[in-house]
């Protein structure tokens, strides 16, 4: 038997890899790589390693999860040192939990190497935290993409809880359902609640918009922000370096319209 390690490649910037992730990548004989992994990360792989791209990206044709599971199990049984390389962190909306279950059912022990998730990296690049002793007592990571046949998140209830408990909401994969999400959130949170949308967090191509919940849909459409993006909702966004300037610009635009 070989071995299998699930490795978080982080949000995109290769310098955000952990030392443990670099060592795991370097020792792999087979790497199964997600679409959102920066190609620069693969520079740490051995020249003799076999690299297999198993794309999984919202709105695009994806490699079936069952096929990926079978590839991992077969390679380990053939004695390979397999690294399943995933964007962000394997255990935050990376299907890492599902893959671990399948591997364990096949009698394979799995090691997990955590990576920095985009929800954290995106806000850090804006100079703002996710928690704050005065403004946010906790943070909720939630997906905006429901599994087929699943009703998905109760956005009204979540917004009500976030407002009462002073929680920051970090929404992944929410751009395609933004209208539905924002309508639900507005039933439990004030329209003036601060929101940040960050596309391609940590990469040179990163783009962002700072707005309010009431203007969220219009802002994303105006700025042309697309997936992959994270949406951060809460008072902590006001700590972003550019927040006050963006609000002054928004008020000026309204007065001159």
Question: Residue 119: CB partners within 8 Å, gap ≥ 6?
Answer: 92, 130, 141, 170, 172, 201, 230, 232
Q: Which residues pair with 111 in a beta bridge?
A: 5
Contact by Cβ (8 Å): 162, 140: yes
Query: Cβ-count burial of 100 within 10 angstroms (0-12 exposed, 13-18 middle, 19+ buried)?
Result: buried
Catalytic residue status for 154: no
Catalytic residue status for 1: no
- Of the candidates 13, 56, 89, 123, the residue annotated as catalytic is 56
Catalytic residue status for 34: yes
Contact by Cβ (8 Å): 189, 253: no
Tokens of 205: 């191509």
Contact by Cβ (8 Å): 106, 75: no
Tokens of 65: 């999860």
Angle at 237 between CA 16 and CA 220, to 5 degrees: 90
Question: Using omega within 30 degrees of 0 as the cis cutoff, is the peptide bond preceding 228 cis?
Answer: yes
Contact by Cβ (8 Å): 50, 30: yes
- Of the candidates 13, 86, 123, 173, the residue annotated as catalytic is 173
Q: Identify the sign of the CA torsion 25, 30, 34, 36.
A: positive
- Of the candidates 34, 69, 86, 123, the residue annotated as catalytic is 34
Q: Active-site residue numbers?
A: 34, 56, 173
């Amino acid at each position: 038997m070989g071995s299998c390690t699930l490795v978080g490649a982080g949000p995109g910037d290769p310098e955000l890899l952990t030392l443990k992730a670099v060592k795991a990548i370097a020792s792999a004989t087979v790497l199964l790589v997600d679409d959102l992994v920066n190609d620069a990360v693969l520079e740490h792989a051995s020249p003799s390693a076999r690299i297999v791209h198993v794309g999984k990206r919202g709105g695009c044709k994806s490699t079936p999860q069952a096929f990926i599971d079978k590839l991992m199990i077969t390679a380990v049984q053939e004695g390979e040192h397999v690294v399943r390389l995933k964007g962000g962190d394997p255990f935050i909306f990376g299907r890492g939990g599902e893959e671990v279950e399948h591997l364990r059912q096949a009698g394979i022990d799995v090691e997990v190497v955590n990576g920095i998730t985009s929800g954290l990296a995106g806000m850090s690049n804006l100079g703002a935290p996710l928690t704050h002793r005065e403004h946010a007592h906790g943070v909720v990571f939630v997906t905006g993409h429901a599994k087929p046949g699943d009703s998905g998140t109760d956005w009204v209830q979540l917004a009500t809880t976030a407002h009462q408990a002073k929680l920051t909401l970090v929404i992944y994969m929410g751009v395609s359902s933004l209208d539905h999400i924002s309508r639900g959130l507005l039933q439990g949170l004030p329209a003036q609640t601060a929101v940040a949308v960050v596309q391609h967090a940590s990469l040179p191509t990163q783009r962002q918009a700072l707005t309010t919940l009431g203007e969220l849909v219009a802002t994303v459409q105006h700025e042309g922000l697309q997936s992959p993006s994270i949406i951060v909702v809460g008072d902590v966004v006001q700590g972003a370096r550019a927040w006050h300037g963006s609000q002054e610009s928004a008020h000026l635009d309204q007065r001159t319209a």
